[in-house]
Amino acid sequence: GDLLIQICASDPLVVPVAAAALLNRAGDRVHERWRQSGRRGTNVPVGAELAAPRNLLGFIDGIVGPHTAAEQRRDLWLTGPSAVAGGTLAVVRRMELDLPRFAALSVAEQEAVFGRRRASGAPLSGGAVASGPDLGAKTPDGRYLVPANAHVRRAHANVVGAGLMLRRSYSIDEPAPGLLFISFQNDLRTFTATLTHMDAADALLDFTTTTATGTFLILPGFDRQRPLGAGLFGVHT
């Protein structure tokens, strides 16, 4: 598709109504090609002014990301070309999750897949939820506390050598239980390099099947003086 529209509401009934109204206003100029609804679970506080929901596997999802203004300037917002400065790039990816097979694992085995505690979200290397995992920490007999193939190690920005991505994913139950993964970053390589590093050996991938993917430019914010896309299309009020 050419255009991504994300419609969010705290009351789920509002979403299809808003979608129908927007499509009606667009008339023949816009044809809907693909639609996916998803839900965010209840937010769990994970740090100062930061909260994230659980996903269908039961783990808190959305802890690590560009949360400070400096990190957002570095890794989230586009600095140019000037028409899109202040915008960002979105990767949308629908993944089915094998819930029965994951549920058959013990809690310790599930936690080894991610590298974090299921109940609290704390890294297996210890410390608070919001603190990143200590990837060098080992047991007395020399095994990594965060296993070599744990998702948080394989996807870790420093291990990958990429920037931070703002992950804001949604749980889905249609067409199959899974995750509508959405990440925002100012460089697509942040996503592709992370995925390549995961592909080589990420325990989580045994439980996921990707069934849709796309990337989109997200325009900078707008106000009455500068409508959405004003910089790109030269619109002035």
Which residues bind to ligand HEM, rule: CB under 6 A?
A: 55, 57, 59-64, 93, 95, 97, 114, 116, 132-133, 151-152, 155-157, 165, 167, 179, 181, 191, 194-195, 198, 204, 208
Residue with tokens 């769990």: 44
Q: How far is the CB of 146 from ligand HEM (least distance, A)?
A: 9
Count Cβ atoms within 10 A of the Cβ of residue 63 and give its class: 0-12 exposed, 13-18 middle, 19 or more buried.
Answer: buried
122 alpha-carbon distance from chain centroid: 19
Distance, CA of 154 to CA of 133 (rounded, Å): 12
Which CB atom, from 186 or from 194, has the smaller least distance to ligand HEM?
194
Which CB atom, from 112 or from 198, has the smaller least distance to ligand HEM?
198
Which CB atom, from 75 or from 220, has the smaller least distance to ligand HEM?
75
Q: How far is the CB of 221 from ligand HEM (least distance, A)?
A: 24
Q: How far is the CB of 119 from ligand HEM (least distance, A)?
A: 13
Q: Give the list of residues 6+ apart from residue 42 with CB closer than 8 angstroms, or none.
A: 53, 54
Which CB atom, from 84 or from 146, has the smaller least distance to ligand HEM?
146
63 alpha-carbon distance from chain centroid: 10
